[in-house]
Amino acid sequence: MTESWNSTDPGVLRLPSGRLVRGRGLRHPLPDGPTPTYGVYLVGRPPSEVPWESRWLRWPDFRLPSDHEEARRAFRTAWERAAEERVELACGGGRGRTGTALACLAVLDGVPADGAVEFVRRHYDRHAVETPWQKRYVRRFTG
C-alpha cells in the first residue's frame, strides 16, 4: 500500500469511506509533499507529461466531459485506486471541472447525487462546480 495523502494537505478531500483524493489547478505550482501515483487531468488539450501514471479526459473549460462514458470509467478507476494510492484530479483552475469530478467520486463513494456538490463545496472548495450544467451533470451522475 502506498503512503496516503495527509488529509490536511491543500486540496485533499476525504470521502465518506475515508478515501483521500486531491484536487488541484494545473495553473498553480505542484503542492509540496508526496506526488500522486495516479492523476486524471480534465482539460481540453493533452496535458503536460508527468512522472506518474496519468489519464487525460478531454474536458473543455466551463463545459462537460466530451465523452460521458469515458468520464464514468475514469472516475470509477480514480475512486477505486484512491483506496490504496495517491490519486489527484486536476483541471486548469482546480474548481469547475475538478470540483465536478470530485463530486462524481463522492457519488461513487455513497454521497447522494443531489448532495454531492454541497459536499465538495463544504470539504474541498466553496466555489467548486462552477456552472449550472456541471451541477446538473453531478445530480444525474450514477455509479
How far is residue 12's CA from residue 133's CA, in Å, rounded to a whole number? 24
| Nearest Cα to Cα of residue 143 among 39, 72, 38 | 72
Phi-psi category of residue 33: left, alpha or beta, with phi > 0 → left and psi -120 to 50 → alpha? left
- Residue-wise pLDDT for 8-54, tens only, equals 999 999 999 999 999 999 999 999 889 999 999 999 999 999 999 99
Class of domain 12-140: alpha beta
- Residue-wise pLDDT for 91-119, tens only, equals 999 999 999 999 999 999 999 999 999 99
